[in-house]
Structure 1
Amino acid sequence: MNDLLFHGLLTATFVVAGMVKGVTGMGLPTVAMGLLGMVMPPAMAASLLVMPSLVTNVWQLFSGGAVAGLVRRLWPMLVAIVFGTVGGSALLVYIDPAWSGLALGSALVVYALYALWAPALSVPRGTEPWLSPAVGLVTGLVTGATGVFVVPAVPYLGALGLPKNELVQALGLSFTVSTLALAAGLLLNDVFRVHQLGLSALSVLPALAGMWLGTRIRARISPRRFRQCFLLFLVVLGLELAARPFF
């Protein structure tokens, strides 16, 4: 792939991923990993999404005033995410890219199918002390192995009964910690290179442009309808990635 085509693909990917995040409040790393994973090893794709994911998630995290309370409530999950992600990142680096793609595709399908039907879940407050770190550890392992940090943290946070604005911030908090932990894991495994950091930083602008566009679209169409189309797209994309080792 020549440089012009590569940079065009990178820009288009992060515009689309940012647009999805602007409409739904999530999905930038999921879309970016899915699209980039079709043309490059998942470890390289994960390296490229570090900066745009971090910037957009920090923006989302500080969109309200509930940060301190959320950190106090969710810190066991966040700590477990760090350990799971750093430990699991070796899988993203060292296993065959085809099988890493299988893991990524499976994670996309599981997340999308859950979100399409979204059974109403509720987590009793008394179970959080033991359930929160367990969810964090599994999320971290999935993040480390696939570069996607939505399963099972997103369904879990949605089941805590948080007000809408606090839920958006909680997602931003979880995603920010996951992004930093993934970057640390890639650094420890000698995968996150300086030139990739530059490419990752260049991807911030198209990601922010996509977020701005997404917020404009959200004001004009039904977010629910857009979300359904997006999730169906993820199912198809995930199945394609998961099927690669068998063909």
Structure 2
Amino acid sequence: MMIEALTELLTIPQLVFAFAITVLAGFVKGATGFALPMIMVSGLASVLPPETAIAAMIVPTVLSNVWQSLRGGGIKAAVDVAGAFKLYIATLLVFIVIAAQLVAALPQNVVLLILGVPIVALALFLLKGRVMYVDPSKRGRMDVLVGAASGFLGGLAGIWGPLTVTYLTAIDTPKKEQIRITGVIFGAGAITLGLAHLRSGVLSAQTLPLSLLMIVPVMIGQSIGNKVQDRLDQKKFRRMTLFVLIIAGLNLIRRAVM
């Protein structure tokens, strides 16, 4: 039954292409801690309907983020790091809910442009060796401000990852801590997205088998990416993250313009 559902959605060449794109997405996720949905949806949507591409990434995204948040420390480490960023997480989720009600108020291309341009600009700024210093005594205020901005844009465009990673990179969050906190934040977002699309019908009996199948290439890619991440020191990890952020921001600008 699962095979029949898959053959109705994809041809064999399309399935091979989907596997290759998903392995790549898993690798980048394992190495940098983010960009899995962006790569999967952008790649798969070139050969599949956008709704099917979104459905395909939901289940593997949830599992990859659970793995990421627990890796190298278990549940206690994930809970500890979530506690350290509780203001950011709470503000982000509240503004996602608020902004989601305003989706019709702004054209999507405007939202994507508003999100993409600052990400590219800040990533280039940091890549040049500049430092964005946040006084530890004012970290709570910045968590709320950036969390609100990220949640607002996330609610409008469904994208809150790049701005979150940009902020964590800017305040020089240690590599392992950044990986855990992004896993917690993205995991919560992916679960919310999955529940929403169960209701919308995007994730259905027809598309769920594809999403389950994509777990395999994601885990293969993420395993390889994790090995790369383990060998990167803080400086190299930071630079690699900034390069991926620039690509992510340019992709958002491309979507806005096109």
Task: Please tell me the TM-score bracket, short chain as reference.
Answer: 0.7 to 0.9
Structure 1 unaligned runs (5+)? none
Aligned twin of 2:88: 77
Max Rg structure: 2
Aligned twin of 2:16: 8
CA distance in 2, matches of 1:234, 1:242: 13
CA distance in 2, matches of 1:90, 1:8: 38
Aligned twin of 1:115: 123
Amino acid at match of 1:155: T
Identity level (%) = 24
Aligned twin of 1:205: 216
Match of residue 214, structure 1, among 219, 222, 225: 225
> Does 2:62 match 1:59?
no
CA distance in 2, matches of 1:231, 1:150: 10
Aligned twin of 1:184: 195
Match of residue 256, structure 2, among 207, 222, 242: 242
**TM-aligned CA distance change 1:201 to 1:105, over 3 Å:** farther
Does the 8 Å CA contact 1:47/1:196 hold for their aligned counterparts? yes
**Farther-moved stretch of structure 1 (70-79 vs 36-45):** 36-45
How much does 1:62 deviate?
0.9
Does the 8 Å CA contact 2:58/2:194 hold for their aligned counterparts? yes
Does the 8 Å CA contact 1:48/1:199 hold for their aligned counterparts? yes
Cα RMSD after superposing both structures? 3.6
CA distance in 2, matches of 1:75, 1:164: 18
Aligned twin of 1:140: 151
Using the size of structure 2 for normalisation, the TM-score is: 0.72
How much does 1:75 deviate?
2.1
Using the size of structure 1 for normalisation, the TM-score is: 0.75
Does the 8 Å CA contact 1:121/1:159 hold for their aligned counterparts? yes
CA distance in 1, matches of 2:117, 2:47: 19
Count of residue pairs the alignment pairs up = 240
How much does 1:113 deviate?
4.6
> Does 2:46 match 1:50?
no
SS at match of 1:6: helix
